[in-house]
C-alpha cells in the first residue's frame, strides 16, 4: 500500500512537471509585433557664433589675398566656437614641482566634432585689420538632417500573437 502511494505520488509529480514544461515551452513560440514611433524634441534652440581673424597676420602676397585668408580663418574660428557649444571643450592640464616649487605648468584645450547645417549670417571687416564671420546653427535643421540618416525611435505598441 505504501509502495502504491509512492508510485502514485511519483506519477502525479511527473505529470505535473511534464505539463509545466509543455506549457512553458509553448511561450517560446509566441510571436510579437513591435510598433515604433519617432521621438521629437519639444523645442529647438538656435546657436550663434562669431569668429575673428586678423588680416595683417595672414600669409599672402597682396592685401586682397590676406583679406581672403582672414575671411576663411574667421569662418573656421566661428565653426570652432559652434563646436564648443555643441560638444563642449576638452581641457588637459599638468603641473610639475621641483623642491616644492612649480617648475612647469601646461594647459591644453581642444574641441572635436562635426557641425552640419550651419548658415553664414554675415562676414564683414571690423576696423582696419580684423575680419569677422557670424554663423547660426538652427537645431531644427540639425534634427532634420539627423532624421534623414539615423531615424531615432521608441516603442509605440507591442502586440503578442
pLDDT tens-digit profile of 80-127?
Answer: 999 999 999 999 999 998 888 888 899 999 999 999 899 999 999 999
Q: What's the Rg (C-alpha) of the chain?
A: 34
Q: Binning pLDDT at 50, 70 and 90, where does residue 153 land? A: confident
Contact call for residues 41 and 142 (beta carbons, < 8 A): no
Q: How big is the CA angle at 33 (ends 29 and 38), to the nearest 5 degrees?
A: 150
The rounded distance, in Å, linking the Cα atoms of 133 and 29 is 62
Q: Binning pLDDT at 50, 70 and 90, where does residue 24 land? A: low
pLDDT winner (highest mean) among 13-27, 37-51, 115-129: 115-129
Q: What is the DSSP string of 61-130?
A: SSHHHHHHHHHHHHHHHHHHHHHHHHH--EEEEEEEEETTEEEEEEEEEE------S-EEEEEEEETTTE
Amino acid at each position: 500500500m505504501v509502495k502504491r502511494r509512492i508510485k502514485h505520488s511519483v506519477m502525479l509529480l511527473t505529470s505535473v512537471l511534464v505539463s509545466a514544461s509543455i506549457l512553458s515551452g509553448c511561450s517560446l513560440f509566441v510571436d510579437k509585433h513591435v510598433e515604433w514611433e519617432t521621438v521629437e524634441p519639444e523645442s529647438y534652440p538656435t546657436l550663434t557664433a562669431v569668429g575673428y581673424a586678423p588680416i595683417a597676420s595672414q600669409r599672402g602676397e597682396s592685401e586682397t589675398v590676406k583679406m581672403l585668408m582672414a575671411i576663411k580663418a574667421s569662418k573656421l574660428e566661428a565653426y570652432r566656437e559652434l563646436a564648443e557649444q555643441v560638444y563642449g571643450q576638452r581641457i588637459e592640464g599638468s603641473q610639475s614641482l621641483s623642491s616644492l616649487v612649480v617648475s612647469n605648468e601646461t594647459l591644453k584645450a581642444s574641441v572635436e566634432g562635426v557641425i552640419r547645417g550651419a548658415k553664414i549670417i554675415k562676414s564683414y571687416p571690423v576696423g582696419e585689420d580684423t575680419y569677422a564671420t557670424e554663423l547660426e546653427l538652427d537645431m531644427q535643421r540639425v534634427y532634420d538632417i539627423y532624421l534623414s540618416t539615423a531615424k531615432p525611435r521608441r516603442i509605440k505598441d507591442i502586440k503578442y500573437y
